[in-house]
Chain A
Amino acid sequence: MTTTFRRVRLLRNTGFYIAAFITLAFVATPILFALLGGFKDNQQLRENALGLPNPWNVANYTDVLASGDFWRQVVSSVFIALVTTFLVVACSAMVAFVFARYAFRGREGLFTLFAAGMMFPFAVAVLPLFIILRTFELLNSPLGVILPQAAFGLPLTIIILRTFFRSIPGEVEEAATIDGAGPWLFFVRILLPMSRPVLATVSVLALVGSWNSYLLPLVVLQKPTWWTLPIGVTQFSGQYAVETAKVLAFVMLAMLPALVFYAFAERHLISGLTSGGTKG
């Protein structure tokens, strides 16, 4: 009895592993190609595309790491992502706080307006945004990327935060009011610290969204000064089209921050993305 059971289980597990390893190969092959390809030279890439690098050639990686362009793009990407995140989370938290906890005329209408923002694909707005940013002289400025990104991040962030803020019992605020705290003091000193987990989730969402964004920086940042990594990678690959190995090294290094971030913030990232999905 138990042996049959074990045999069935073994068979079942073998099936699982076969399916899982096929998928694993599908997922990992392109990434390994980039990782290992970066250690080859172009001749090796042509003649030995599948094997391990022989000899291992670190020049491609060190060239990219020694170039000012790469680091400048990393800094731009990080700066734009951080400011976007701060802006969208701060503005959304304030709006969501009022929506969640005070009744006033026009509240539902205002909320619907924000929520309707979810319906606008970013690409719909990019052309008029370009014209508006040109008028405000925000082209080639990081603010030209930050402000629209933050604005488009508001709807989802407000929806998630409002749901959370509603769940905080009214007694907490009453106690604060009795102690003489006004809405601002309550918001900054009590509500925000209580909301740390959900703030982390929406921050991760905003951070990842900004880090990955391509269309907006593409049209706004025409001069290389503030190019973000995605723009830098595509430009680099156009410039060094024949030096495949170099481009692979650049691609791999550009993917690395996201991979490291994923490794550390995996739980927040997945819960954020899935809640973004389910509540969207």
Chain B
Amino acid sequence: MTIKSPLQGSPAVGRPDRRAGFGPRRRSGRPGAGTLASFIAPGLVLFLLFVILPVLFAAYVAFFRWNGLGGVPTDFIGLENFRTMLADKVFLGDLWRLAIIVVLSLVIQLPLAFGLAMLLHQRFPGRTAFRLIFFVPYVLTEAVTAVLFGLVFSPRRGFADSLLASLGVEAQIGWLSDRDIVLFVIFGILVWKFFGFHMILFLAGRQNIPEELYEAAAIDGATGTQAFRSITLPLMGPTVRMIVFLSVIGSVQLFDLVFVLTGGGPFHASETLAITMYEQGFQRNQIGYASALSIAMFAVSLVFALFYQRLVLNRDLQGSLTTAGNRS
């Protein structure tokens, strides 16, 4: 699209690519704009049609009242959909539930994954097998996992009830039907599904720390705890921050598992942003309002990403400065 024809055959216009590491000699072989375009076109067309166009379309439709019929929306209502949204208890509840899931993940799931990664970093017989098995839930399809856990927590004396009964607890727990606990049950399933992925990422981060640092620390007489606090924790910083980021963004987009498991119920008690959007759009044909919800979802991830990036950058900068200070 932006490939300009002057490039063709005129080495003076094309800047030599310094990064790729080839010098001016290769100018003779410089391909024309047509060749470059033929490489880019299929991917670009696909991307514009099925990623950019829908997102722009959603942003446009969000300002209309539209039931999705008749080509294009015509009933322009300005910010009305967004006003409705901010007064919508379900939407506000989605944000609240998102906050709960995020906090629980940060406080319970990620530390658990971190601990297991530290454990599996140690050498002991069988650790490869453990690592392989712990990753299995992540490999399974979310929707299929949801069906499985729907039966584990089935209201008709499911597996979970039988398990409790065998431990002598005869309680009637509405795992997925009690508004007060359904979100926590779902969180438990999320831990089951995703801790292995986070563990593998933590493990990769830990393996990137050179062992020489620990050897040097041991020679200087540092205890294991000291080495952990002044080598492992700070050097794991970037990994930790990246995993937190992935985990939050993943929570914003949560759909498959919850939709199949509870459909967002009971009484919206487990509903997520994506489920609200799906219901409004595909079940009630409120395409305009549903588009506003999609935009809100995008805005939540974007705001978080920008805010987080700034925070991460600042932190990493500070980290490098303090390390430099300590060393001098």
Contact = CB atoms under 8 A, between A and B. Distances in A.
B260 A251 contact: no
B3 to A, nearest CB: 6
A27 B39 contact: no
Interface string A1-32: 00000000000110011011001101111110
B15 to A, nearest CB: 5
Interface string A215-226: 100010000000
B36 to A, nearest CB: 5
Number of chain A interface residues as a range: 35 or more
Interface stretch (B27-35, B77-85, B171-179, B211-219): B27-35
Contacts of B21: 169-170
Contacts of A55: none
A70 interface: no
* Secondary structure of the B contact surface, majority rule: helix
B4 A106 contact: yes
B166 A98 contact: no
A125 B151 contact: no
Given A24-B133, A117-B51, A269 B291 contact: no
Interface in B44-59: 44, 46-47, 49-55, 57-58
Nearest to B274: A123
B104 interface: no
Contacts of B307: none
28 contacts: A27-B133, A30-B159, A50-B163, A94-B39, A100-B20, A103-B15, A105-B2, A106-B3, A110-B44, A122-B253, A124-B295, A127-B290, A128-B61, A130-B281, A132-B54, A147-B46, A151-B50, A154-B46, A183-B35, A215-B256, A229-B141, A234-B143, A248-B151, A258-B139, A259-B136, A270-B200, A274-B200, A274-B201
Interface of A: 12-13, 16-17, 19-20, 23-24, 26-31, 33-34, 37, 46, 49-50, 87, 90-92, 94-95, 97-98, 100-106, 109-110, 113-114, 117, 119-132, 147-148, 150-152, 154, 158, 166, 169-171, 173-174, 177, 182-184, 187, 208, 211-212, 214-215, 219, 229-231, 233-234, 237, 244, 247-248, 251, 254-255, 258-259, 261-262, 266, 269-270, 273-274, 277-278, 280
